[in-house]
Amino acid sequence: MDSTVNPSRRAWLGACGAMASGLTLAHDMVAAEQNPAAQVTDRAASLKITALRAHWVGPVVYVKIETNAGISGWGDLKGVDPRPAKALVESLFELLDGENPTRIEYLWQKIYRAHRNIRGGAFLIHTLAAIDNALWDITGKLWGVPVYRLLGGPTRDKIRVYHTPKAIKVPPHGIYEHSGTPADIEKMLKAIQTARDKVGPDGAVMFDAHSAVPPATLIQLASRLQPTDLLFIEEPAVPGNIEVFKRLKEQIRIPLATGERDRTIWGVLPYLQENCIDILQPDCCHTGGITSMKKIATVAEAWYVPIAPHCTATFLGIAASLHVVSAIPLFLIHEFYPQNAGFVGTGLTRMAYEIDKDGYIGLPPGPGLGVEVDEKLIETEAAKPQKYRWPGAKLKDGSIADY
């Protein structure tokens, strides 16, 4: 077969190629104009932080971050002395002023690494949590979606909470010596049995040792219980020495949970590496906010450890924590005290929720955190004289005890 091409045919093919290229280019230009991705305007591009306001009411500092677009976000600062905490969050505004509030990870790192001698401490991390949650609130409001949509979307349809008729956590009912008497053990056992009678065999009972039941006494208590009597034992020991948790794990068959006083991924990592706890209990307001809590859940997932968040916050902290558990795979149950007047206050914050007969609530509303804040009432309450009383406890002999 002749491999040569007729000149006229060659010209015709070239013309067809040019025409095809032109049509392709024109098609691409039209497609680009019609492509939604090409038409998206980054509404956050010119957004800037303009102000930060902090209001001390009771045990909480309410933090409001304002922007040049009129969108504001709120967070609550709790779990530390509110007097220096208020001053610290106001000082940290110097690192936020003029920044884009949607650069949440960047701003978290900027604050966390701002001072090498205070990074990781309780005051910085609790304060950072209030700021972080407020930034997520702003970003969710900007795009008109609940925060959990920005975290990858929902992984569940509803959230199991306590206290409900189907889930009760039992406090230690006292401060205990370093080895217990029969009366000590019976008091705790009676409280556990009372809770079990209320929730039934298909309900959940948890025991919060609260670090107030020393290791030896907790071992004595656990020896009287079956592994399925409790969903978990919370705070079995004071954080700080991982060897204590390892010793307890070796001798107690009931699942152990802890984490409310451990901050960031670096604080919880030893528990996972040493396989000495079964459930992690990060507190969104204690561990650096939504940004940090999501990372903790991801790290724990690698060890197949679920989270059961500690939460004694206002509705701002409650909502922030609920948004995280809405978007993670391994979750057990969430602490939920919507009527806790000591933290929630008298109408200062509000969130829509409904608990069903099985002890579940729906996913948190939006946009943002989905919490209504009565700013005028907060300002009114903050204008009143505020007091702070240091907590603490003693044993019968007058020595200082954990509580």
**Active centre residues (catalytic):** 210, 310
Q: Is 133 helix (H, G, I), strand (E, B) or coil?
A: helix
Q: How far apart are CA 334 and CA 325, in angstroms?
A: 8
| Tokens encoding 252 | 């107690």
Q: Are 210 and 172 in contact (CB under 8 A)?
A: yes
Buried b (16+ CB within 10 A) or exposed e, 143-175: beebbbbbbeeeeeeebbbbbbebbbbbebeeb
Q: Is 27 helix (H, G, I), strand (E, B) or coil?
A: helix
Q: How far apart are CA 185 and CA 320, in angstroms?
A: 37
Amino acid code (one letter) for 388:
Y
Ramachandran region, residue 371 (left: φ > 0; alpha: ψ -120 to 50; beta: rest): beta
Q: How far apart are CA 320 and CA 294, in angstroms?
A: 11
DSSP secondary structure string, 300-345? HHHTT--B-------HHHHHHHHHHHTT-S-B--EE--TT-HHHHT
| Tokens encoding 243 | 């060897």
Q: How far apart are CA 86 and CA 63, in angstroms?
A: 9
Q: How far apart are CA 177 and CA 182, in angstroms?
A: 12
Which H/E stretch holds residue 204?
Answer: strand 204-208
Q: How far apart are CA 186 and CA 199, in angstroms?
A: 20
Q: How far apart are CA 216 and CA 221, in angstroms?
A: 9
Q: How far apart are CA 210 and CA 204, in angstroms?
A: 18
Q: Is 227 helix (H, G, I), strand (E, B) or coil?
A: coil
